[in-house]
Chain A
Amino acid sequence: MSTLKTLLRRPSVAISLLFIVAVVLLAIFAPWAAPFDPSEQFIEGLSLEGAPLPPDATYRMGTDLLGRDLLSRLLYGARTSLFIGLLANGIAVLIGTLVGLTAGFVRGWLGSVLMRFTDLMMAFPALLLAIALAAIFQPSVWIVALVIAMVNWVQIARVIYSETVALAARDFVEVERTLGASRLRILFSHLLPHLLPTILVWATLGISTTVLLEATLSFLGVGVQPPTPSWGNIIFESQTYFTSAPWLVLFPGAAIVALSLAFNLVGDALRDALDPTLKGRS
């Protein structure tokens, strides 16, 4: 709890947390928060020439190419983007922790195979691999989340691996072993608790990465498919129009950057608070 207090004393972290909570609440309560149905195409939502409307009193963030209310689409899009970001990150952290922990604790041939495999995954251009995977499978919200998880667990696995190796060599683990503690007991009651801060830090920073990756995939057209709105595909749908209707890119763009920035700031502060020896992300 004292960690939380020191964290909140930083204004950037307090604002970030507030923003994250606000986005989560708005996403959950989107049906109540949104002024309109996100997929309803308003005839009066387009100008006489059929162009989207800039922000006004009715459509607070303007309308898109089909005359739909952008604010409502952003609010519903937050659901998709957050859901994918959190799910993908959860899977990535789970796989990364399992692989890193197993490789670092069991060592031997199994450990070697696992770590050589992570080396292999590091050699892939992450975005290209994700694009190829997303293009191979018919993209649905679940597939997109899985694809993102598939390219994001690697970094976590490497961090957890090196920490596990360092921890397993410490005296207290040796003492437990001599006292006859089983391997599983050492793993779950001694190693895992020590790894929790690291896992927490990487889980927070990871959301920023997964949110960005979802947006990028959707922007390239291989992520979440319209008409389901996500922050990335709102930009994808309107990219050809963005010079004449910049609000269609500016609002969702700002939302993506702000959410990613917020998770990054909180994650960075968490790392400083939990482990002062680590500086900068490497």
Chain B
Amino acid sequence: MFAFIARRVVYSILILLGVTLITYLLLFMLPADPARQIAGRSATPEIVANIRHQLGLDLPFYQQYFQYLKGLLHGDLGRSFIQRSQVSELIGARLVPSLQLMGLGIAFELLIGIGLGIVAALKRDSFIDRLLMAFSFVGVSSPQFIAAMLFLYFFAVRLDWFPMGGYGEFRHILLPALTLGILGSGWYSRMVRSSMIEVLHQDFIRTARAKGLSRMRVVFRHVLPNAIVPVIPMVGIDIGIFMGGLVVVESVFGWPGIGQLAWQAIQQVDIPVIVGVTTVSAVAIVLGNLLADLVIPLVDPRIDVKKH
């Protein structure tokens, strides 16, 4: 078990190294010259060269990359080209709102997804089942920005149930989190449904029923704990999809998180911020996957870690 964990951790670190290398390489090839942008239109070539030197942009690629990696180990993501502050500070200031939105979004996702999945499995092939599965299909097929704008229009503008945007109070987070939750619940409800149906057909369930246990008791004590197993690692993998959703939902609702920061940085070609957010997101994704890998053998003892 220990060897398995160690191997997964080392592998995750290697993946992260690769991620930083690729993002840095991509942005290094950027045609727009950041030094010229900072200097402004009227700057002389000397001033531009000076700025380039100050930012270390005149160094060869591998030196710039190693500088970046060295800083990274100290939690230093470099300085923003546009806003005169540390990227780590910019991200740090926006991490909490994003984590709040993500936490509540994932909670809604699981609540809605698992709930609907259970109902659909128990009412298999009924009208309700078809309706719920159709709902999950529409959710999976809808881009977040359309859902976000529609929800904003109907629930905030027309019905006035929620505020249009803003940050600070609990009512502000509800609509963006619900948007993420409702759309993301589709995968979970489909998965819980099929895994519930599979467990429902197993012998020990028939035994439990034959013992005279009530239907509710069988479902919640015997079926659900078994059916939920494949869902747990999904949460880890889901983080990657969620990061993309954050960019869209945060920019529609004006939520002051890292998604919005990334969006603004891309508009201004603020390379260190883009690299920083991508790196932080990749860390979240790799950690999520690592967590999923480590949790699977714990929740499902049938999986032999030595084989991996």
Tell me the residues in window 110-137 of chain A with beta carbons closer than 8 Å to chain B beta carbons: 119-120, 122-129, 131-133, 135-137
A118 to B141, CA, bound (A): 25
Q: How far is the CA of A221 from the CA of B248 in the complex (A)?
A: 12
Q: How many angstroms between the C-alpha atoms of A158 and B32 in the bound complex?
A: 35
Which residue on chain B has the smallest CB distance to residue A254? B146
Given contacts A123-B19, A127-B247, A253-B149, contact A261 B138 (CB under 8 A): yes
Quick check: is A243 within 8 A (CB to CB) of the other chain? yes
Interface readout for A223-251 with B: 1 if CB under 8 Å, 0 if not? 00000000000010001001100100110
Report if A27 contacts B (CB, 8 A): no
Main secondary structure of the interface of B (DSSP, over half): helix
Asked whether any CB of chain B lies closer than 8 Å to the CB of A208, the reply is yes
If A123-B16, A125-B281, A281-B187 touch, whether A136 touches B30 (CB-CB below 8 Å) is yes
Complex CA distance for A122 and B18, rounded to whole angstroms: 11
Q: Does A216 interact with chain B (Cβ within 8 Å)?
A: yes
With a cutoff of 8 Å between Cβ atoms, the chain B residues found around residue A3 in the complex are none
B179 on the interface (CB 8 Å rule)?
no
Given the complex of chains A and B, what is the CA–CA distance between A282 and B192 in angstroms? 12
Task: Say yes or no for B50: interface residue by CB 8 A criterion.
Answer: no
With both chains docked as a complex, state the minimum distance between the C-beta of B250 and any C-beta of chain A, in angstroms. Answer: 11
* Chain B CB within 8 A of A105 CB: no
A153 at interface by CB-CB < 8 Å: no
Once the chains bind, are A260 and B142 in contact (CB under 8 Å)?
Answer: yes
Smallest distance from the beta carbon of B181 to chain A beta carbons, Å? 18
Q: Say which size band chain B's interface belongs to.
A: 35 or more
Q: Is A5 an interface position by the 8 A CB rule?
A: no
A215 proximity list for chain B (CB < 8 A): 143, 145-146
- Distance (Å) between the CB of A54 and the closest chain B CB? 15
Residues of the A chain whose Cβ atoms lie less than 8 Å from the Cβ of B145: 215-216, 219-220, 235
* 26 A-B pairs with C-beta separation under 8 A: A120-B19, A122-B285, A124-B285, A126-B244, A128-B278, A131-B262, A131-B263, A132-B26, A135-B267, A135-B269, A136-B30, A136-B31, A137-B31, A212-B143, A215-B145, A219-B143, A219-B248, A220-B248, A239-B149, A249-B149, A250-B150, A253-B146, A253-B150, A257-B143, A264-B140, A280-B190
Convert B53-78 into 0s and 1s, putting 1 for each residue whose CB lies closer than 8 angstroms to a CB of A.
00000000000000000000000000
CA distance A138 to B32 in the complex (A): 10
Cβ–Cβ < 8 Å partners of A256 in chain B: 143, 146
Q: Does B289 contact A (CB under 8 A)?
A: yes
Contact of A128 among B29, B143, B244 (CB under 8 A): B244
B240: interface (CB < 8 Å): yes
A9 CB within 8 Å of chain B: no
CA distance A128 to B260 in the complex (A): 11
Residue from A128, A136, A268 within 8 A of B27 (CB atoms): A136
Given A260-B141, A261-B141, 11 more contacts at CB 8 Å?
A120-B18, A122-B289, A125-B278, A131-B262, A131-B266, A132-B26, A132-B278, A235-B149, A253-B149, A264-B140, A280-B190
Asked if residues A124 and B282 are in contact (CB atoms below 8 Å), the reply is yes
Closest 8 CB pairs of A and B: A127-B244, A125-B243, A261-B141, A253-B146, A260-B141, A125-B281, A120-B18, A135-B266
Task: For chain A, residues 246 to 277, give those with C-beta under 8 angstroms from any C-beta of chain B.
Answer: 246, 249-250, 253, 256-257, 260-261, 264-265, 268
- What are the interface flags for B174-188 relative to A under an 8 Å C-beta threshold, 1 for contact and 0 otherwise? 000000000000010
Chain B residues with CB under 8 Å of A249's CB are 146, 149-150, 153
Q: Which residues does chain A contribute within 8 Å of B248, judged by CB atoms?
A: 127, 216, 219-220
Minimum Cβ distance to chain A for residue B293 (Å): 12
Task: Name the A residues within 8 Å of B243 (CB-CB).
Answer: 125, 127-128
B15 contacts the other chain (CB 8 A): yes
The answer on a CB contact under 8 Å between B26 and A131 is no
Tell whether A170 is near chain B: CB-to-CB under 8 Å. Answer: no
